[in-house]
Every structure is written in structure tokens, then in C-alpha cells.
């Protein structure tokens, strides 16, 4: 009887592992099939020319690195890694099966493997030898894939039930459109998540999980289940037949057992994870501190009667919180108008905010022009960097808040206004009050509701999840290979102070993805984060006099040096000293009067 391909591969593998090193190399390089050797940590130790030609990598780039991480798709990596470890540990003598292998430029390839256990003479070192053949063009395989894709497109994606495929551990590998709609997220964000985490918000499998019975008996299971949002469902779980291609083990179909609340009437979930804000993609809310901020924002979304003051360092996401207060979780069609108070010169600020009548001043439009308050009518006016608003305008803004009316520049008719005011600042307005650059009565009116956004360094549990979101988005956008962050790089992220907060974190990920093309972010990609001032802890050394210290004189000296350092640029100097530009102008005025 003619031997099967599997038997032939097994004999070849046994023969190769029994020859000496030189002979092995010669034979391996002359084979027309793929050949690799993995060590006990599943790191690639050897690959023949056929293998490296298929994957498109130079040997020195991947030898010694994790084979599963570099060449196996994330959705099947757990299954493949488990199987390979069983071979390494000789829990199984050999393995024959097919799986996807990632290549650098030609997309994934389907390879049929035969793998055997290898061991040193003294038994101290274990590894494995794998021989494979690329079967991507195999007609029967193509038909399997075509049929599976067609079934999903025509059937699975067009039913109301929630459907997903998973592996034997409940890790979701694929889901239908209804599942994404129900979870209010993109399906790619679901893949790789365990069903007990996604549906029940648990950190481990449910006590009554039906998977063990399903896998043991092979018989489909039907259970009633309650999800973390309180909704009840009938869950049908089926064991799938092996096709030698997919790692899918189970099929889950979920049917609602009671009338679901319409989507627009469902309570908004601010308990964490991804959140949609109009005008932006999803943003990540992970730490307790930020969940509290978003909970406050959601409460304020339903009450437009009071102004809101949002405080936080630059780059913490103050505008995003302002937008969520306005838009909430749903689309909102009332206007959201924003002004950066630091970007408008004092001479035109009044006309920008209140508008002007025709002939109000030379160079103006003959018919006049509406101001930001007009444009925001019925909606929200967002004043960013409110500490920079000219003192001459502050009294008029206070009148808008208290009386709900104002005059256009050059106008005699009162304009009634229905606008919610949201303000943001990255400085302590109390200091501006002491410096005489901000009205105390306006401050107390604005601070009716204050929301403080903590700096990123104060909520470290947000750092890595946000970095992963930025990495995934940018990798897809720029066509790179990044799939994660290494442990060493993660420590760098967590130990960095992030003075620029989320904006700096996003810019960091964009720089890494732009400059590198690797499978994971590594420490060598992040050398630019270590600045000289961080190495010294930003310490300022001052020789203190033996007698008394003139603090005002020292302060004036620091201001002069900072101004010289920035070539007289007041905005850059103020940012460097962590004070507002108006406070700096006030201090410089004092210097000139000395």
C-alpha cells in the first residue's frame, strides 16, 4: 500500500533528526519543503531557505525570536502555542495539522505541518523539528475558505441573534455584525477576548460554564444566561467539526429571551473600556479616576443650567470631556462651538465672541458678523484656556452667564442667548486672581461645577491600554506589523512621567510606528523618551546666601533667564515656567517698574 503524505513526512523528520550536523544542514537546504527547528521556549533556532523565502524575512532578523509571536496570527496563537509545547514536553509524540503562517509581504499562507520531538543525548535540552508544505493554492482548501466566507456573509451576518466562533477556552475568534452592534464596538476589538470577560465582565470562566460538558460529550448545550447589563439570553453552544484549517472549536448562538431596551433608550455605560464621542473614534476609559470623570460628564449632559469648569494639565483630554458633556453617548445635533482663548489677540476677542454690527469699526463687514455666541445658540460654547481671556471681556462674559444676554460690538439691541458654557484651563485660576488677571466674581460663577482630570502619571492603569489602542490604530493606518508592547517597553511606559499626558503618549506611538516596522514595541524604539532633564530629575541647584535670601530678586532673576532662554518669546516662556502668559506679562511689568 502506498504511504500517505503524513507517513512520508514523519519518516523524513525521523531521518533528519538522526544525522550529524553537517549532513543535516546539507539535506535541509536541499529539501523542497519548509523546515524549521524550535527550542523549548518556542524560539526559532533554524529555518531552511524554502521557509525564509516564503515568509520574506532574513534569518538574522527572526532567528532567536518567539516563533508564535512572529509568524502565527493572534486569534490562533494560543492554540498553536499550546500544541507546540505539548510536542516539546513530549506529551504527544508528533503532530500533523494545518495552520496559518504570517509572511512579511504576501499575506498569510496555509501550511500543513508534521512536527516531532527532539532531545539532546543527556536529555537536558528539548526542541522540535517541523516539516511543512505550503498548501495555500490547494483547491480543496480554497473551497473550504470560500464556503466559510460565503456562509458568514449570507447567513451569519444577516440574523438578529448574537453569533460568535471561539476556541476550546472560550476565546472569541470571529463574530457577526449583530454582536458588534450589541456591544457597541468594532468586531476587531472583540477578537481575542474571552467570552466570560466580554459578556459577563468576569476575570475567570463562569462557575456554570457549559464548555467542559460540550468538549467532553461532544453534544450541543443549551443554557439560560444573564449578562453583566442584566439582560437575559438563551445560549446554544455547538462543537464544530475539524476541517484542518480553522482553529474554531465552538459556535455560540445567543437569542434574547425578553424584549431588549431599544438602543437609544439603553442606559449609557460609563464603567470603562471604549467610549464613542461624536467627531472622534472610540476613546479608552480604563482607570477609576477617568470613569468618575465620565460619570460626572454624563450627569452634566442632562442639565444645561450651570456652567462647567474643566481643569487639567495640557494633553489630558479636556476637550474630549467637554464634547462628551455636550454630545453624551448619542449623536447630538445642537452646535458645539469652541474657542481657544490663547489663540485670539485681545483686540479682536470681543468681536469674535459677541459679533459686531455693520460699521462698528474700520475694516469690518458692512453687514456685520455673527459671533461665536450666535453660532452656539441652543448648544454649547467651549472656551479653552479660559485663563487667557482678556480682563476687559470678563465682565461682559459674566453678564452672559447671569443675565443670558449681551450686546454685539457697535450694537444697541440686546441679544438673548441660550448657550451652555463649558470652560477649560491648564493653570490654577486662583493664582491668576491673586495676580489680578482674572476676575474673582467670574471665577466663582464658573466654578459652580468643577471637573478635575488627573494627569496621566496619576492614573497609570490608563497608560498601557491607551498605548495599545493607539498602536493598533496607527499600525493599521500605516500598514506596519506591530501587534503588541514587550514587557521591557511596558516598564518604560509605566515609569515615564508623561508631562504631555495623552497627547504625548499618542505622539510617541505615532513616532514608533512611523520609524520602525517590528512585531512589538521594544526598548530600543523608545530611547528618545529618556531626556537629560529626566536623568537629573529636573533638579535646580541654587547657592543659598549665608545671611538672608531676597526671594523676589531670585524670582525676577529666574524670569529673566527663562525669557532669554526662549529668545524673548513670552508664550514659550510662560509655558516653560508653568504660568499663564498674562501672569508672565504682569510679572514683566513689575520688573520694568523696578
The span from the CA of 258 to the CA of 446, in Å, is: 46
Cell of 564: 532669554
Cell of 5: 503524505
Instruction: Give yes or no for a contact between 445 and 398, defined as CB atoms under 8 angstroms apart.
Output: yes
The span from the CA of 592 to the CA of 585, in Å, is: 11
- For domain 5-137, is the CATH number 3.30.530.20? no
- Residue 527 main-chain phi, psi, to 5 deg: -60, -30
- Closest alpha carbon to 487 in 503, 507, 464: 464
- Closest alpha carbon to 575 in 324, 297, 388: 388
In a 13 Å sphere around the CA of 224, the CA atoms on its Cβ side amount to 5
The span from the CA of 334 to the CA of 153, in Å, is: 37
Cell of 395: 465682565
Which residue do the cell numbers 498605548 mark? 467
User: Taking the chain, what is the end-to-end CA distance rounded to the nearest angstrom?
Assistant: 107
- Closest alpha carbon to 342 in 49, 545, 581, 1: 581
Q: Is 39 left (phi over 0), alpha (psi -120 to 50) or beta?
A: beta
The span from the CA of 379 to the CA of 337, in Å, is: 8
The span from the CA of 166 to the CA of 437, in Å, is: 61
* 472: Cβ contacts below 8 Å, ≥ 6 apart: none
In a 13 Å sphere around the CA of 227, the CA atoms on its Cβ side amount to 19
* 165: Cβ contacts below 8 Å, ≥ 6 apart: 172, 173, 174, 175, 240, 246, 248, 250, 251, 252
- What is the residue-wise DSSP string for 232-253? EEEEEEEEPPP-SS----EEEE
Instruction: Give yes or no for a contact between 233 and 225, defined as CB atoms under 8 angstroms apart.
Output: yes
- What is the residue-wise DSSP string for 428-467? -HHHHHHHTSS-HHHHHHHTTSEEE---GGG-GGGHHHHH
The span from the CA of 281 to the CA of 506, in Å, is: 14
Cell of 57: 524575512
Which residue do the cell numbers 453583566 mark? 228
pLDDT by 10s per residue, the chain, length 594: 444 544 555 555 555 555 555 556 666 666 678 889 898 889 998 898 889 999 999 999 999 999 998 998 876 777 778 778 877 776 555 667 777 888 988 788 888 888 877 776 666 677 888 888 887 766 454 455 555 554 454 445 556 778 887 888 888 877 877 787 787 777 667 777 888 877 877 767 776 778 888 877 778 888 888 776 667 788 888 877 655 444 457 878 888 875 443 333 333 333 345 555 655 555 678 888 888 888 888 888 888 888 999 999 999 989 989 988 988 866 677 889 999 888 888 778 888 898 888 767 666 677 788 889 989 999 999 999 999 898 888 988 998 888 889 888 888 888 888 999 999 999 989 989 998 899 999 998 888 889 999 999 888 888 988 998 889 889 888 888 888 888 888 889 988 989 999 999 999 999 999 999 888 899 999 998 865 444 444 556 566 666 677 777 778 888 888 887 877 778 778 888 888 777 787 777 777 555
In a 13 Å sphere around the CA of 129, the CA atoms on its Cβ side amount to 19
Give the CATH fold of the 459-535 domain: Helicase, Ruva Protein; domain 3 (1.10.8)
Cα 430–chain centre separation: 34
Residues paired with 420 in a beta bridge: 380
Contacts within 8 Å (CB) and 24+ apart, 352-356: 353/393, 353/397, 354/396, 354/406, 354/407, 354/408, 354/409, 354/415, 355/408, 355/409, 356/408, 356/409, 356/410, 356/411
Cell of 314: 495640557
Cell of 375: 453660532
For position 265, what pLDDT does the model report?
Answer: 36
Instruction: Give yes or no for a contact between 65 and 44, defined as CB atoms under 8 angstroms apart.
Output: yes
The span from the CA of 47 to the CA of 54, in Å, is: 11
* Domain 144-265, CATH among 3.90.76.10, 3.30.450.20, 3.40.50.300, 3.40.50.10260: 3.30.450.20
The span from the CA of 367 to the CA of 537, in Å, is: 57
Cell of 218: 461532544
The domain spans of the chain are: 5-137, 144-265, 273-452, 459-535, 551-593
The span from the CA of 69 to the CA of 77, in Å, is: 7
The span from the CA of 437 to the CA of 443, in Å, is: 11
Instruction: Give yes or no for a contact between 559 and 579, defined as CB atoms under 8 angstroms apart.
Output: no
- Closest alpha carbon to 388 in 587, 591, 583: 583
Cell of 153: 456573509
Measured at the CA of 431, the angle between CA 574 and CA 449, to 5 degrees, comes to 110
Altogether, the residues listed in the chain come to a count of 594
- For domain 273-452, is the CATH number 1.10.357.10? no
Residues paired with 232 in a beta bridge: 226
Looking at residue 440, the DSSP 8-state letter turns out to be H
- Judged by DSSP in three states, 282 sits in coil
The span from the CA of 244 to the CA of 240, in Å, is: 12
Topology agreement, domain 144-265 and domain 459-535: no
pTM of the shown model: 0.47
Give the CATH fold of the 551-593 domain: Arc Repressor Mutant, subunit A (1.10.10)
- Going 176 to 180 to 186 to 187, the CA torsion angle's sign is negative
Cell of 54: 516564503
- Going 421 to 426 to 430 to 435, the CA torsion angle's sign is negative
The span from the CA of 342 to the CA of 345, in Å, is: 8
Cα 321–chain centre separation: 17
Amino acid at each position: 500500500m502506498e504511504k500517505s503524505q503524513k507517513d512520508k513526512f514523519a519518516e523524513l523528520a525521523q531521518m533528519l533528526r538522526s544525522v550529524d550536523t553537517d549532513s543535516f544542514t546539507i539535506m535541509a537546504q536541499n529539501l523542497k519543503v519548509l523546515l524549521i527547528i524550535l527550542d523549548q521556549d518556542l524560539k526559532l533556532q533554524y529555518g531552511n531557505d524554502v521557509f525564509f523565502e516564503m515568509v520574506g524575512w532574513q534569518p538574522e532578523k527572526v532567528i532567536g525570536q518567539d516563533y508564535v509571536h512572529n509568524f502565527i496570527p493572534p486569534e490562533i496563537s494560543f492554540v498553536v502555542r499550546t500544541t507546540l509545547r505539548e510536542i516539546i514536553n513530549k506529551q504527544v509524540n508528533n503532530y500533523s495539522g494545518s495552520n496559518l503562517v504570517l509572511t512579511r509581504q504576501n499575506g498569510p499562507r496555509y501550511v500543513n505541518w508534521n512536527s516531532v520531538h527532539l532531545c539532546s543525548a543527556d536529555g537536558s535540552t528539548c526542541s522540535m523539528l517541523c516539516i511543512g508544505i505550503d498548501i495555500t493554492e490547494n483547491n480543496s482548501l480554497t473551497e473550504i475558505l470560500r464556503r466559510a466566507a460565503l456562509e458568514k456573509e449570507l447567513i451569519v451576518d444577516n440574523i438578529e441573534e448574537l453569533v460568535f466562533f471561539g476556541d476550546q477556552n472560550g476565546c472569541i475568534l470571529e463574530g457577526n455584525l449583530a454582536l458588534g452592534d450589541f456591544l457597541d464596538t468594532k468586531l476587531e476589538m472583540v477578537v481575542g477576548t474571552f467570552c466570560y470577560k466580554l459578556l459577563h465582565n468576569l476575570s475567570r470562566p463562569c462557575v456554570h460554564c457549559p464548555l467542559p460538558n460540550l468538549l467532553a460529550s461532544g453534544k450541543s448545550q443549551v443554557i439560560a444566561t444573564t449578562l453583566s447589563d442584566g439582560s437575559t439570553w438563551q445560549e446554544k453552544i455547538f462543537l464544530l467539526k475539524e476541517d484542518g484549517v480553522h482553529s474554531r472549536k465552538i459556535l455560540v448562538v445567543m437569542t434574547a429571551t425578553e424584549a431588549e431596551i431599544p438602543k437609544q433608550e439603553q442606559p449609557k455605560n460609563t464603567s470603562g473600556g471604549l467610549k464613542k464621542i461624536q467627531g472622534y473614534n472610540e476613546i479608552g476609559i480604563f482607570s477609576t479616576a477617568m470613569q468618575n470623570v465620565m460619570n460626572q460628564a454624563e450627569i452634566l449632559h442632562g442639565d444645561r443650567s450651570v456652567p462647567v469648569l474643566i481643569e487639567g494639565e495640557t494633553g489630558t483630554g479636556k476637550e474630549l470631556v467637554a464634547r462628551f458633556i455636550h454630545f453624551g453617548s448619542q449623536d447630538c445635533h445642537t452646535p458645539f462651538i469652541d474657542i481657544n482663548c490663547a489663540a485670539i489677540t485681545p483686540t479682536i476677542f470681543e468681536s469674535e465672541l459677541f459679533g459686531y454690527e455693520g460699521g462698528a469699526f474700520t475694516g469690518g463687514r458692512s453687514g456685520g458678523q455673527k459671533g461665536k455666541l450666535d453660532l452656539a445658540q441652543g448648544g454649547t460654547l467651549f472656551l479653552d484656556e479660559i485663563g487667557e481671556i482678556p480682563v476687559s471681556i470678563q465682565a461682559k462674559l459674566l453678564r452672559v452667564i447671569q443675565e443670558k444676554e449681551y450686546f454685539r460690538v457697535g450694537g444697541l439691541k440686546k441679544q438673548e442667548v441660550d448657550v451652555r458654557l463649558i470652560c477649560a484651563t491648564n493653570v490654577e485660576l486662583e493664582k491668576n486672581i491673586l495676580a489680578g488677571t482674572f476676575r474673582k466674581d467670574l471665577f466663582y460663577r464658573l466654578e459652580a461645577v468643577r471637573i478635575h482630570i488627573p494627569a496621566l502619571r496619576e492614573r497609570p492603569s490608563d497608560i498601557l491600554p491607551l498605548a495599545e489602542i493607539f498602536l493598533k490604530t496607527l499600525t493599521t493606518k500605516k500598514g506596519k506589523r506591530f501587534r503588541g508592547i514587550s514587557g521591557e517597553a511596558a516598564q518604560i511606559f509605566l515609569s515615564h512621567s508623561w508631562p504631555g499626558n495623552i497627547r504625548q503618549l499618542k505622539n510617541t506611538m505615532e513616532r514608533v510606528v512611523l520609524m520602525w516596522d517590528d512585531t512589538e514595541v521594544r526598548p530600543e524604539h523608545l530611547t528618545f523618551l529618556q531626556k537629560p532633564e529626566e536623568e537629573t530629575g529636573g533638579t535646580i541647584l541654587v547657592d543659598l546666601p549665608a545671611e538672608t535670601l531676597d526671594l523676589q530678586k531670585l524670582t525676577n532673576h529666574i524670569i529673566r533667564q527663562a525669557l532669554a532662554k526662549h529668545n524673548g518669546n513670552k508664550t514659550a516662556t510662560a509655558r516653560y515656567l508653568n504660568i499663564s502668559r498674562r501672569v508672565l506679562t504682569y510679572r514683566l511689568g513689575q520688573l520694568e517698574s523696578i
